Homo-oligomer: A and B are copies of this chain.
Amino acid sequence: MSAPEHLALITHRPDGVAVGFLEADVSRPQLSVLDSAPVRGDGIFETFSLANGRPQSLELHLDRFAASARALDLPEPTLAVWRDAIFAIAAHFADVEEAWLKIVLTRGVEAGPAATGSAPEGTAPTGWVYAAPAPDFTRARTEGISVAVLDRGLRSDVAATSPWLLAGAKTLSYAVNRAAQREAVRRGADDVVFVSSDGLLLEGPTSTLIVRQGSQLVTPPASLGILAGTTQADLFEAAHLWGLSTAIEVLRASDLMSADAAWLVSSVRHAAPIREVDGVTITVDAELSQGMNDFLRSRRA
């Protein structure tokens, strides 16, 4: 794992509009302890891959970034400025085959506890971009990963009934996602597949689930309160290359065990075939996994 090497700080006006960015030293403290990110995980992010310095699926990520901002009542991100900052940071990685880049937007510096949830007036949002060489994921992409199936606690209808639960928004409040991954490690697994409290397959803590049923790739609908996967979207666009159709459908936990193959796909690790579910071996489709990963690495936009 290589540490991030380059950082840009986005400059925001108090009205929430971004006006520019400055590169900064990532090895130095750059954030106030009063920022809403460390105070309450109150912000949003996106992580995407850089292929020789080219951001992959940039517009899908920026669309989702803007959707997360709306879900959290954050100011609309000024995407032109974010794109400039992203390309400036990405340019440092032109000689690196695989790198990752992360963008973060928060509500800004907070003054302290309030009687209600209203933000202190006149606070500008905080934003930043950083990037690092990617770790080597060859093993996960070829040999596959083992997963534990864990209850996410939420019903599959919360995105419709309870938008304040922020299901489907990519927030900085990921302590539960990390705790679930530690629980998986305790169970001898590499990663997690979440199920809803009513037994529907959802997603991984940092990835999207895809299963193959015959000649069809299937992923659960975002309406279940999960993230619309950018890597999944790119793979579904490309499925015809492998003679496959695609469907977005509700899946039950048993569908994972009976699938012809399954993957957790994400922006940086790409397609990791699932080789074991709660200790039970399932089929790895090595050829299709390699096809997916070759395709994902080769994306030029």
Contacts and interface: CB of A to CB of B under 8 A. Distances in A.
Interface of A: 1-4, 7, 26, 28-35, 37-43, 47, 71-73, 100, 104, 106, 111-118, 120, 128, 130, 132, 135, 137, 140, 145, 150-155, 158, 161-167, 171-185, 190-191, 197, 205-206, 268-269, 272
A153 B145 contact: no
A150 B176 contact: no
Contact of A184 (B100, B117, B197): B117
Contacts of A164: 150, 176, 179-180, 182-183
A174 B41 contact: yes
A114 B1 contact: yes
Contacts of A166: 175-176, 179
A113 B151 CA distance: 23
Contacts of A4: 34, 111-112
Given A31-B29, A72-B179, A172-B40, A115 B191 contact: yes
Given A114-B135, A153-B167, 13 more contacts: A7-B33, A30-B32, A38-B38, A39-B174, A40-B41, A41-B41, A47-B113, A113-B269, A150-B164, A151-B161, A153-B153, A154-B197, A163-B183
A183 B179 CA distance: 27
B2 A111 contact: yes
A206 B38 contact: no
Nearest to A113: B268
A182 B112 CA distance: 16
Given A172-B175, A174-B40, A73 B182 contact: yes
Contacts of A150: 162, 164
12 contacts: A1-B114, A3-B112, A30-B32, A33-B130, A40-B174, A100-B112, A112-B132, A116-B191, A117-B178, A117-B179, A153-B165, A164-B176
B7 A190 contact: no
Contact of A115 (B73, B175, B269): B269
B115 A145 contact: yes
Which has the most chain B C-beta neighbours within 10 Å: A30, A32, A153? Answer: A153
Given A1-B111, A31-B33, A112-B2, A175 B72 contact: yes
A167 B272 CA distance: 30
Contacts of A106: 38
Q: Which residue among A145, A174, A181 has the maximum number of chain B CB atoms within 10 Å of its CB? A: A174
Contacts of A118: 181-182, 185
Contacts of A152: 165
